[in-house]
Amino acid sequence: MDDNLPYDGRSGLISRLGKGSIAVLMSSFVVCLGCLTFLAFLWGANANNAVWRSIVLAGWTTRSITITSLVLRWATAAQAAICTSMLAAILLQMGAVPLPAAAAVSIIRFDNTGPWSLLCKMGAEWHHGSISIGLLAALLTFTTLSLQFASTVLLSQVGIASLPVATSVPQTYYGTDTYGPSYGSDGGGVHSFFDTTPLRYPAFAEWISNATMSDTAAQHGEFAPSSAPGIRDTGTVVRAFLPFKDDERSRLIEYHGFGTAVDTRVVCVRPRLTNIVCSTDKDSPAYPAFRITGLADVEQKPSGFVRLPDEDGSKNYSLSFDCGFAPDADPETYGWPLALCGLNQSLGIYSVMQSNGFEVEPGPSYLLINATLTNDVTNLDGSDVWESITLKPNGTSQSVTLQFTLCMTAFGAQQLEINATRPASFPPEPTVLWNTSTATYNTKDVLRQFGAGTSRDSTSRRGIFDLAPRSWQWPEHPEVDGFDEVNSGFFSTTAAIWVVSPDIWYRGLVNEAQYSIFAHIARSTANPALALQAYFTTLCAICYYERIIMFDTAAPSSRVSLVQVTRPLGWTAFIIVASEVILHLLLVLLAILIFRRAGNLSQIQNAWASISQLLGPTTESWIRDADTVDDKTVKSWLRDHGLNKTLVRVEHVQSRVQLVEKDRVS
């Protein structure tokens, strides 16, 4: 016997494996590495990669992973089958197998279903030389079977996520043509806004002046916020409404185009009151309505204050007021019972939007009354922006104490090009929730959106957009009366506010949800200017989004919206599959290397050689008698003759390769 037959290692390996097996092994290696590369691309790329974006936006993420996993399973299964043939050849030459399994193991060199078929035939009677082969077969079985579930593992970490997608729109409807048919079709419907319960509080874009009181000339003509004694000034705050309905707006993170911007500055000052007369409505003795008349004037003049001359050309006058309210005796439940009444629009503050070179006009002013009567409760605001007066209504002997503050607004609107942005992660638009245990509205989320929460949150935490600074002034001043109404966003926003001016406003005459926001902000912040700003912003939003379907003026725009896509959400699944594939490829390489060194007596994928090598002194008689019986019968014969534990292997004996007993020496 010559165990060291000379052979050319390279040509011998190719001839023993066969060109078909070599081609399968090489191509499957490339396929496996390609599949891993593609999966790594799906997991590692981001929205900046055009190919990845195309796959994800087309909804091909799941299908791509499934198809790639299927190809990976085919490639690794083909490798495993060839490796099983090599391991069977190595086992027959370098190790040993029980005689009853010799025929099956020899045939495995030609055809098999995978490494598990070799494990089953090796059984428990492993020779010491076959343990390493059995371990290699067991590991190949593990990797091959586990990779059959690659798609299941990979898809376990694929889910829904938001992807920012930029689009350009040739026509975005942003406003109403003031000379078109839509403008005059709903002019009388503004009163209904007081009765509307907002289903949600839409996100707006906000720009806040960062000017200080020491600035002599702010960059955009804005006014700085102030909390000096006797005055609460929000400063210039421009809020822009975006021309998108709820579903589109909830996914929007960037918008570049036309919108309606509103100067929402509010200043509340401590007024000087004279000639105060208080009376009650005797028609409702069980629930008296109070009426307050008198004169109000401003002693502390904020920045941007304007007082128009009266008919005589004098500016030395006070504003008359006539206010009514119904007091509430349970402020712990409902908040302060506030009342609001409009004043003559002859003094106030002007908007930063008004053009230079033209006479500025003040915005509407209001007298805000804290109607928490001291005969019911004593929870009054002690801040210096309120003027407290004790009165005795006519016809009664009861004294009551009321508080007054004079609030001036600069609410002006115009349609202009804006840039609004917010981060990809933001809280949803808030709603007013009803608390059944306290029978009150829960306004916490709404207050946070308006910047009136317990802490001053950033715009991202408030869920609103950052509005890029620009010049807010009119490009030119219209040469007509009522220019706001003709040339600005008045119809879609501030039209809802101007109705307040001539009317008396208090709880019971307006929507309870709207009133709760107003009262809760005033009470929690001790800043009536912030409360009035939030309430008027709410009215503008209700008006804007009710009339958005009437918009008939369009312009090009660009936007970035979040699109719900299916994409990988974590790396754990990919790492598991990649590790299994790499381990599998290493096992295949190891099997090839061992076969190259120790499999020179076998030819893979050759049926005749696999059968011929079974013939030998140990098996010849059994093969001849097994032509008409099954394997079970042959195993029984061998057991009866005490040969069932005999170990055999193939050796080169007398010029041929045949099956011999393990300890036989030729």
Q: Where are the domains of the chain?
A: 9-157+570-604, 162-566
Chain centre distance of CA 178: 38
pLDDT band at 665 (very low <50, low <70, confident <90, very high): very low
pLDDT classification of 252: cutoffs 50, 70, 90: very high
b/e per residue 146-180 (b: at least 16 CB within 10 A): bbeebbebbbeebeeeebebeeeeeebbbbbeeee
pLDDT of res. 663: 64
Best CA proximity match to 402, nearest among 385, 388, 381: 388
- For the record, the structure tokens of 319 come out as 């504003």
Per-residue tokens: 246: 């709820």
Tally Cβ neighbours within 10 Å of residue 629. 11
Structure confidence at residue 36 (pLDDT): 97
- Mean pLDDT confidence for 265-282: 87
CA distance linking residue 420 with residue 417, whole number of Å: 10
What residues are paired with 323 via a beta bridge? 292
Please check whether residue 342 is in contact with residue 408, taking contact to mean a CB–CB distance below 8 angstroms: no
Q: Of 176, 266, 163, 48, nearest to 560 (Cα)? A: 163
Mean pLDDT of 97-106: 80
What is the per-residue pLDDT across 549-564, written as a single tens digit (0 to 9) for each? 989 899 999 999 999 9
Instruction: Kindly report which listed range (254-263, 575-584, 635-644) carries the lowest average pLDDT score.
Output: 635-644
pTM, two decimal places: 0.76
> How would you classify residue 515: left for phi > 0, otherwise alpha for psi between -120 and 50, otherwise beta?
alpha
Token pair belonging to 309:
């001359």
Q: Tell which wins on pLDDT, 296 or 496.
A: 296
Q: Token pair of 437, please?
A: 């245990």
User: What was the pLDDT predicted at 420?
Assistant: 96
The whole-angstrom separation of Cα 489 and Cα 415 is 5
Which distant-in-sequence residues (6+ apart) come within 8 Å of 401 by Cβ? Answer: 373, 374, 380, 388, 389, 390, 391
Report the range out of 270-274, 305-309, 510-514 with the highest average pLDDT: 270-274
* Tokens 């938001």 -> residue: 162
What's the confidence (pLDDT) of residue 666?
38
Stretch 509-526: mean pLDDT = 83
Task: Evaluate if residue 501 carries a pLDDT over 60.
Answer: no
Q: Which amino acid is at 338?
A: L
pLDDT category at 641 given cuts 50, 70, 90 is confident
| Among 148-157, 322-331, 448-457, the least confident range | 322-331
In degrees and rounded to multiples of 5, residue 283 shows phi and psi of -75, -15
Range list of H helices, 147-281: 150-155, 246-251
Distance between first and last Cα of the chain: 5
Phi-psi label, residue 526: left if phi above 0, alpha if psi -120 to 50, beta otherwise = left
Classify residue 305 by burial, with Cβ atoms within 10 Å: 0-12, 13-18, 19+.
middle
DSSP H or E segment with residue 531: helix 528-546
| Mean pLDDT of the chain, nearest integer | 82
Confidence at residue 169, expressed as pLDDT on a 0 to 100 scale: 94
CA nearest neighbour of 262 among 345, 196, 206, 179: 206
Evaluate if residue 408 carries a pLDDT over 90: yes
Query: Do 629 and 111 meet the contact criterion of CB atoms below 8 Å apart?
Result: no
Q: Report the b/e string of 107-131 with b at 16+ CB within 10 A.
A: bbbbebebbbbbbebbeebbbebbe
567 vs 336, which has greater pLDDT?
Answer: 567
What pLDDT score was predicted for residue 476? 62
Comparing CA positions, the residue from 265, 532, 539 lying closest to residue 412 is 265
In this prediction, residues 143-154 reach a mean pLDDT of 95
Q: 217 falls in which pLDDT band (50, 70, 90)?
A: very low
3-state secondary structure of 369: strand
**Which residue is associated with the tokens 């994800």?**
56
Hey, what amino acid is at 225? P
Using alpha carbons only, what angle is made at residue 514 by residues 508 and 515, rounded to the nearest 5 degrees? Answer: 45
Contacts of residue 242, defined as CB under 8 A and 6 or more positions apart, other chains included, come to: 203, 204, 205, 249, 252, 255, 259, 420, 465
Cα–Cα distances (Å) from 203 to 259, 299, 348, in that order, read 13, 37, 29
Q: Which whole number is the average pLDDT over 89-95?
A: 82
In this prediction, residue 54 carries a pLDDT of 93
Q: Please give the structure tokens belonging to residue 225.
A: 């916020």
Q: For 457-552, list the strands marked E by DSSP.
A: 465-467, 504-506
